Structure 1
Amino acid sequence: MLDRLEMFMALAAERHFGRAAEKCGISQPSLSAGIKQLEGELGVQLVWRGSRFEGLTPEGARVLDWARRIVGDARSLRQEMRSARHGLSGNLRLGVVPTALPMVADLTGPFIARHPGVQIKILSRSSIEILQQIDDLRLDAGISYLDNEPLGRVVTEPLYTERYLLLTAKSRPCAQQSALGWADLAGLPLCLLTDDMQNRRIINHELTQAGVPITPRIESNSIIALVAHVLTGEWVSIVNADTAALLAARPELSAIPLQGGQGAKEVGLIAPYREPHTPVLAALLAQARRLSKAREGAA
C-alpha cells in the first residue's frame, strides 16, 4: 500500500495525473491504476474525476492526512535503520526564504563537516511554499520567519533576529547618513522583493506605518536581481544584515541601518511536528541550536 499512498500524495500535490506520474517515475496509466487500487482497498472514492483531475473527495482529504503520516513515518524508519547500519547519511531537502540564503552556509557548512555522509539540496522558496512543501513531504525542513505569520503544527529553532538596512550606491546622498528612519525612505527609488514574499509583507507594513507610499517600479523574487539594480546607482533596496555583510566588500555600496518601526523579526529552522525525527533532521536541529548560541555570543 505504501507505494500507492505515495502516488496519491503526488497526485494531491501536482493536481494533474500526468505531472504526478512523471514525479513518481511511472506512466500515467500505472498511476491511475494505483489510485483505483487504493480506492478499492480503502472502500472509498478518493478523487473527483472528469476529463481531468477535479480535486479530492472529502474522504480523499482525510486519507491524504493519513498518507502523509504513514509515508513520513516509513521514511523515518528507513533512514533510522540506514543510519544504524552505516552512520548518519541520506539526503536533506531544505527550503529557504530568499532573505535567509546569505546565511544558510553558516548552518549547512558545519553540519556537513560533522556529517559527511549527508547530502543537502537547498531550494529558494517563499514562506508559504516552505510550510506547504514540508506538509507534502517535498521538503524535509525550512528556514523562514517564526513570529510574523502563523506557522501551524511545526517544530522551530530560532537562528537569528532580522535587522533591516537600506542598500544604496555610495554616489547617492543618503549614503552619507549613519542611520535612517523608515519615513526617510519617502521619495527614494525602491526596488523590492515581490509581494508573495513574507519579507516584502513585513517591509510593506513598516513603510505603511511610516506613511511612505509603496511604489517600487522594480520587483523580483531574487535578492541578486535587486542588488544588481542597486549597483547601477539608479535604485535602492531594503536588505537584512546578512545580505549587507555579504556585500560589504563592494566599495561602491553602502548599507544604512533603518531605525524605529515595529521591531525585528525572528528567523529560524522549521521542521515537521513528528516524534521521533529522522536522525538527519534531529542532527540538523541540534546544529541550529549550536548556531543560534554562537550568534548570540557574537552579538
Structure 2
Amino acid sequence: MMHPRQLRYFVTIARLRHFANAAQECGVSQPTLSAGLSALEREVGHRLIERDRRFVGLTAHGEAMLPWAEQILGAVAGMTSSVAASSAAITGQFALAAIPAALPLAGQFGETLLKRHSGLSLAVRSATSREIERALNNFECDAGLTYLDHETPANVLSVPLHAERYLFVTRADGPLGNLTEIGWEEASAQPLCLLHQGMQFRRILDARMLDRGLAITPRAVADSYVTLFDLVRSGGFCTIVPDTYATLLAGLQWARCAVLDDGDEPRRIGLVVVNRVPLSPMASTALAVARSLAGV
C-alpha cells in the first residue's frame, strides 16, 4: 500500500534533483530512499524518475504525479496540524514566503505572530509572486506577502497591509542629496541601478515609466535590494525602490530618500492564504494576525 513516507521521498528527490541530498533531508540512507522509491513505482505501475546512478529527471508519469503527491503530503500535514490545534496551543514552524518588496513587512507580522503563539517558530523566505502561488497550492508555505493588485495568486483570501509608493534613493553628499521629492523625468535621467526585469517590482516600474512616455536604461541591475543599496552607497548610482524600505534606510548617514511624485493609485501589498475548506490552523492564525495589524 502507498505510504506517505514514499511520497515524501519522491517529492524531495524531484525538488532537490539529487539522491544523496534527498536522503539526507529525509533522514534516511540512500539505499532506503531508493528502495522506497522503487516500491512507490511498483505501486503506481509506472517508472517515475529517470536515473542512471544519478538523477536524470522525472518521467512523464512522474511529472503527472508530482503535484498530486505534493497536495497529499500537504493535506496530511494540515490534518495533523488541525488535530493538534484542537486540543492544545498551535505549535510548529510557520512558513512565510514574501516577494522582495514585502520583506520589510515580515518583521512586524512575525513579531505579532510569535507574541500571540509562543509555540510557533517562523521561517521566512524570499520568493517571486508565481513561486508564492505554487508554494501555497502545494502546501510548501502557510502564507505569503505579495502584491494584491498585480499578478496576485488565484483562489486566495487576502488582507491588505501596505499601500506602496516609490522611493528614490541617492547618496547624501551627491548632487540630489538635498531633495525630498523628485519627478519621474529627472529620476529616469540619473545613473540608475535597478532590479532586473525578471523581478515583479521592476516590471511594474517599467510600466509606470512607459505610461509617462519614459524609458529606463539602468547602468547596473541586481536581484536584491541589499545589492542596490550597496551600489548607491559605493557612489555613482541612484536607485528606485518601494517605500517599504524607508524605515530600514532611516538614520543611515550616507543615504537620502526622495519621494517620487506619483499620481497613480498606490499598489496594495498584503498577506494571502489559500482559500480552502477547511482552512488550516496556520492559515487561520495568519489571517487573524494580519487583520489585527490592518485594524480590521
Aligned residue pairs total: 294
Partner of 1:264: 266
Using the TM superposition, name which of 37-46 and 149-158 deviates more.
149-158
Distance 2:56 2:275 in 1: 30
- The answer to whether structure 1 residue 183 and structure 2 residue 185 are counterparts is yes
Aligned-partner SS, 1:283: helix
Q: Distance in 1 between matches of 2:21 and 2:200?
A: 28
For structure 2, which runs of at least 5 residues remain unmatched after alignment?
none
Q: For the structure 1 residues 30 and 59, does the alpha-carbon distance in structure 2 shift closer, same or farther, using more than 3 Å as the test?
A: same
Indicate if the aligned counterparts of 1:209 and 1:261 stay in contact, CA closer than 8 A: no
The reply to whether residue 110 of structure 1 matches residue 99 of structure 2 is no
Please report how far the alpha carbon of residue 3 of structure 1 lies from its aligned counterpart in structure 2 after TM superposition: 0.7
Structure 1 pair 71/185, CA: closer, same or farther in 2 (3 Å)?
same
Partner amino acid, structure 1, of 2:209? L
Q: In the alignment, is the contact (CA less than 8 A) between 2:143 and 2:286 conserved in 1?
A: no
What does 1:131-210 align with in structure 2 at a 5 Å threshold?
131-210=133-212
Of residues 86, 93, 96, the one that matches 1:94 is 96
State the distance in 1 between where 2:87 and 2:230 align: 48
Q: Is the 8 A contact 2:192 2:238 kept in 1?
A: yes
- Contact kept? 2:163, 2:267, Cα under 8 Å: yes
Residue identity opposite 1:171 in structure 2: D
Q: Is the 8 A contact 1:167 1:244 kept in 2?
A: no
Displacement of 1:150 in angstroms is 5.0
Q: Aligned partners of 2:141, 2:261: CA distance in 1, in Å? A: 35
CA distance in 1, matches of 2:219, 2:22: 38
Counterpart-to-counterpart distance in 2, 1:261 and 1:3: 54
Q: TM-score, normalised by structure 1?
A: 0.86
Task: Note the C-alpha offset of 1:75.
Answer: 0.6
Q: TM-score scaled by structure 2?
A: 0.87
Correspondence for 1:290: 292
Q: Quote the Cα distance in structure 2 between the aligned partners of 1:182 and 1:107.
A: 32
One-letter amino acid of the structure 2 residue matched with residue 92 of structure 1: F
How many angstroms apart in 1 are the aligned matches of 2:279 and 2:28?
29
How much does 1:93 deviate? 1.5
Partner of 1:44: 46
CA contact (8 A) 1:159 1:292 kept: yes
Deviation at 1:105, TM superposition (A): 1.5
Once the two structures are superposed, residues 49-71 of structure 1 have per-residue CA deviations (whole angstroms, 9 ceiling, x without a partner) of 45543443443333323222221
CA distance in 1, matches of 2:184, 2:52: 53
CA-CA distance at 1:262 after TM superposition = 5.4
SS of residue paired to 2:272? strand
Identity of aligned residues (%): 35
Match in the other structure for 1:59 = 61
What secondary structure, in the 3-state scheme, does the structure 1 residue paired with 2:94 have? strand
Distance 2:180 2:133 in 1: 38
> Which residue of 218, 221, 238 corresponds with 1:236?
238
Give me the whole-angstrom Cα distance separating, in 2, the residues matched to 1:7 and 1:262.
49
- After TM superposition, the runs of 4+ consecutive aligned structure 1 residues lying more than 6 A away are none
Amino acid at match of 2:72: I
* Structure-2 change in CA distance of 1:10 and 1:182 (3 Å): same
Q: Which amino acid aligns with 1:122?
A: V
Give, in whole Å, the separation in 2 of the partners of 1:60 and 1:153: 26
Matched residue, 2:217: 215
Match of 1:119 in 2: 121
The answer as to whether partners of 2:142 and 2:282 remain within 8 angstroms in 1 is no
The Cα RMSD (Å) is 2.5
SS of the aligned residue for 2:11 comes to helix
Unaligned runs of 5+ in 1: 295-299
Deviations 1:185-240 (A, max 9, x none): 23211112233321122222223443444332333323222222323442211122
Is the 1:13–1:136 contact (alpha carbons within 8 Å) kept by the matching residues of 2? Answer: no
